[in-house]
Amino acid sequence: MTPHTNNEALLSTLPDFLSVSQMLKATPATEGDARFVYLEASNQTRDLQGEVLLAKALEESASYYLKFGNLDLEHFTQIGAKQGIPMYESYEIGKPVDVRVDGTRTFVKGQIYTGTGPAAEKANLFWSSLTQIDPPKDWYPSVGGGVLGKSIAIDPETQQPYPVITKVRWSNVGFSRTPVNPDLETVSTMPIGVLTKCWGAAGIDLRKSLTAGYSTDSASMTGGEALRIQSLQGGKSKSYRDFRDELAGAFMKGEIAACDKTSLVREAGARFGLSDADAALYVGRFLDDLKREN
């Protein structure tokens, strides 16, 4: 698709505020006491507004976003003053710590605030909705900022024009339950799936190497068996979600190296105090979860 700039009428209808949705699904994890989210911020697909945001535009503004930008809910810190939203600044929940561009895809790693009191309330609720309920809530992002340059491209199939955003002042990623593009995945608290290329090499190695050994049909688990581990960390009963998160966290910290399924079952049994049967059961479910994420 080749951009054009001879359709001033269409350009004049473009909004001054940029909003492009995209993200990946949550798998809770932390790095020490810090709380991080990982997302695919853009991949040059058209959203429901029919717009395309060029990865080059975000890459050129990445340093500005890292220095001055934020993470918030519903873009309220950006639009709250004009719309008269009370205490709109309280909707800020974090800040970006890294931006990486891979072809047409733009990835962001963000840190969610921690603390107590009113200033941390929404950040804590956001993190809780990802890590303390099962299933976690689905949060979708959209890139926010000022549109500084735009052009028109022609769809080669329909011959219809559509807007292309070529230059931005990127200042925000807003999280929403109702995204501009509902077909995309949700926020991730761990770099798995497509995000492993940027931040989770251990996750890629894990999926590539765990190809033989135990075969567990986690879909056959029902009721309490599907939700409870009999023994985990000194006999304390925890959910499968806890097991998954702690095992994934151990991989991210490098405490467990990628290995074959048999070795992983043995490691999980020793680490969490599980019988061979229970370890095989929950490791099998863990691997099934990785396949679905990928």
pLDDT tens for 153-171 read: 998 888 999 999 999 999 9
- Residue 206's pLDDT band (cuts 50, 70, 90): very low
Pairing type for strands 161-176 and 52-53 reads parallel
**pLDDT at position 289:** 66
Could you tell me which residues come within 8 angstroms of residue 84 by beta carbon, excluding any fewer than 6 positions away?
Answer: none
Mean pLDDT is highest, among 18-22, 210-214, 238-242, 266-270, for 266-270
Least confident of 10-14, 53-57, 86-90, 191-195: 10-14
pTM, rounded to two decimals: 0.63
Least confident of 29-43, 48-62, 180-194: 180-194
- Residue 224's pLDDT band (cuts 50, 70, 90): very low
**pLDDT at position 47:** 79
Question: 24 pLDDT exceeds 50?
Answer: no
**pLDDT at position 190:** 76
182, HSE (Cβ side, Cα atoms, 13 Å): 2
**pLDDT at position 239:** 63
Task: Pick the more confident residue, 184 or 130.
Answer: 130
Summary mean pLDDT of the chain: 75
**pLDDT at position 237:** 43
**pLDDT at position 88:** 96
Residue ranges of the domains in the chain?
3-190, 201-293
The whole-angstrom separation of Cα 127 and Cα 112 is 8
Could you tell me which residues come within 8 angstroms of residue 238 by beta carbon, excluding any fewer than 6 positions away?
Answer: 228, 229, 232
Q: Tell me what the mean pLDDT of segment 66-91 comes to.
A: 96
- Does the bond joining 135 to the residue before it have cis omega, within 30 degrees of 0? yes
Tokens (6 digits) for 280: 């095989």
Question: 257 pLDDT exceeds 80?
Answer: no
- Residue 1's pLDDT band (cuts 50, 70, 90): very low
- Residue 76's pLDDT band (cuts 50, 70, 90): very high
- Residue 193's pLDDT band (cuts 50, 70, 90): low
**pLDDT at position 10:** 44
Q: Tell me what the mean pLDDT of segment 233-259 comes to.
A: 65
**pLDDT at position 13:** 46
Task: Pick the more confident residue, 22 or 141.
Answer: 141
Question: 99 pLDDT exceeds 80?
Answer: yes
Question: 131 pLDDT exceeds 80?
Answer: yes
What residues form DSSP beta bridges with 149?
A: 167
Nearest residue to 283 (alpha-carbon basis) of 240, 251, 252, 254: 240
